[in-house]
């Protein structure tokens, strides 16, 4: 079974390629390397023994994408990660986000339809829920107006999928991620933030490494137990495994509808200070941080109701916060040797 993974040299994409290969799927990656590196394919091979085929081009290029799908018309399915994902950048450059994230999605779907490739797994996000009215948040929760163009591209993408499956043989599963963190236990792959990290955990590990002077904690005046914002952090390997479960569900014709949505979270919310304390506990280091004002656009608290994913998809997150933090730290300590030459 040959699976296309777009964005497969990226953070979640590379971890998913590892899990696919370890389940004996043949993997082809398309990536434009705008936010990742070609040598990640070698790092994947160090884990699995198999170097995935990597085709480097931009999926907004309609002709190249069309030619790719014609050549690989025997694909069994597509897992689509390729997208720009920096919330702040999307506010500054909305047209780039709409053109890139939606343009590439449309080209991939057209390529699939032209070659009767039917199975599509989409990288969505809990950001579609905004600040939910009810917690934990289930798949039935209302979609709220997006807080950023990035979040809006996820919402629009799901609408595009709903319309496309009605007029084609494409079936789609949208996986709504909560907060993916951590790295593969081998420390051969992990998060590779370009420049100053926006996200909490890479900023923590870079601070502990001495690359950043201190962590800024964005607000401690939220209506939460310790005042800092709460998120549902999920180990990236647990998340990756869910993609293999989803593609297998499609290949085994177990879908109940042609468009399905699953929340991928642990069901447990942790505050920023909880994450810091877990990091200090597992690494034995003291983290230098300062509490600052809230960050524009942040929501207060969100965590998943994972019941539907657990029962219907047959997937459950297994790794706890300590493992997430320990793996993130081991990756930080290792990767600058491997990849920052």
- Least Å distance, CB 223 to ligand WQD, is 13
Residues 77-96 that bind ligand WQD (CB under 6 A): 85, 87
Which helix H or strand E contains 99, and what residues bound it?
A: none
Measured between alpha carbons, how far is residue 168 from residues 66, 72, 165, 171, 246 in Å? 17, 19, 5, 8, 20
122/261 Cα distance (integer angstroms): 9
Site string for ligand WQD, 152-191 (x = CB under 6 A): ---------------------------x------------
| Strand intervals (E) in the chain | 2-6, 26-31, 53-56, 77-80, 119-125, 171-177, 179-181, 215-218, 230-231, 233-235, 259-264, 270-271, 289-292
Catalytic residue among 97, 129, 150, 335: 150
Q: Which is nearer to ligand WQD, 171 or 231 (CB)?
A: 231
Q: Residue 42, SS3?
A: helix
The question of whether 335 is a catalytic residue gets the answer no
Select the residue interacting with ligand WQD from 161, 229, 234, 237 (CB under 6 A): 229
- 259-278 residues in contact with ligand WQD (CB under 6 A) are 272
Piece of 16-24, 52-60, 214-222, 310-318 that binds ligand WQD (CB under 6 A): 214-222
Q: Is 295 in the site for ligand WQD (CB under 6 A)?
A: yes
**Whole-number Å distance between alpha carbons of 276 and 217:** 10
- Of 84, 125, 153, 224, which one interacts with ligand WQD (CB under 6 A)? 125
198 near ligand WQD (CB under 6 A):
yes
Where does residue 257 rank: exposed (0-12), middle (13-18), buried (19+ CB within 10 A)?
exposed
Compare residues 161 and 181 and give the one whose CB is closer to ligand WQD: 181
- Out of 23, 76, 199, 206, name the contact with ligand WQD by CB under 6 A: 199
**Residues 101, 83: Cα–Cα separation, whole Å:** 5
* Token couple for 228: 């800092």
Q: Which is nearer to ligand WQD, 103 or 197 (CB)?
A: 197
**Is residue 26 close enough to count as binding ligand WQD by CB under 6 A?**
no
Interface residue with ligand WQD, options 58, 218, 255, 310 (CB under 6 A): 218
3-class SS of residue 217: strand
Minimum gap (Å) between residue 162 Cβ and ligand WQD = 20
Distance CA 18, CA 298 (A): 32
Footprint of ligand WQD on this chain (CB under 6 A)? 85, 87, 125, 127, 179, 198-200, 203, 215-218, 229, 231, 272, 295, 298
Catalytic annotation, residues: 150
């Amino acid at each position: 079974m040959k699976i296309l993974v777009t964005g497969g040299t990226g953070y979640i994409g590379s971890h998913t390629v590892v899990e696919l290969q370890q389940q004996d799927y043949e993997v082809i990656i398309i990536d434009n390397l705008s936010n990742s590196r070609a040598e990640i394919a070698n790092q994947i091979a160090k884990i699995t023994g198999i170097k995935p085929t990597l085709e480097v081009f931009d999926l907004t290029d309609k002709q190249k994408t069309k030619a790719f799908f014609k050549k690989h018309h025997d694909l069994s399915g597509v897992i689509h990660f390729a997208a720009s994902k920096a919330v702040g950048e999307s506010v500054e450059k909305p047209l780039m986000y709409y053109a890139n994230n939606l343009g590439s999605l449309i080209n991939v779907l057209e390529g699939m339809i032209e070659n009767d490739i039917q199975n599509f797994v989409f990288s969505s996000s809990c950001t579609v829920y905004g600040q939910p009215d009810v917690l934990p948040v289930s798949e039935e929760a209302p979609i709220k107006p997006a807080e950023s163009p990035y979040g809006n591209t996820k919402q629009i993408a799901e609408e595009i999928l709903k319309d496309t499956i009605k007029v084609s043989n494409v079936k789609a599963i949208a996986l709504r991620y909560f907060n993916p963190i951590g790295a593969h236990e081998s420390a051969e792959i992990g998060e590779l933030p370009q420049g100053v990290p926006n996200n909490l955990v890479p900023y923590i590990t870079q601070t502990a490494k001495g690359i950043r002077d201190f962590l800024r904690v964005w607000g401690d005046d939220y209506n939460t137990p310790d005042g800092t914002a709460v998120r549902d952090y999920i180990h990236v390997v647990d998340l990756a495994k869910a993609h293999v479960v989803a593609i297998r569900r499609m290949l085994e014709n177990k879908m109940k509808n042609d468009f399905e949505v699953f929340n991928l979270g642990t069901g447990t919310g942790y505050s920023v200070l909880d994450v810091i304390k877990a990091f200090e506990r597992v690494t034995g280091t003291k983290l230098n941080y300062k509490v600052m004002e809230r960050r524009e656009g942040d929501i207060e608290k969100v965590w998943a109701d994972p019941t539907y994913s657990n029962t219907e998809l047959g997937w459950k997150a297994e790794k706890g916060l300590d493992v997430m933090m320990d793996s993130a730290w081991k990756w930080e300590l290792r990767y600058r040797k491997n990849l920052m030459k």
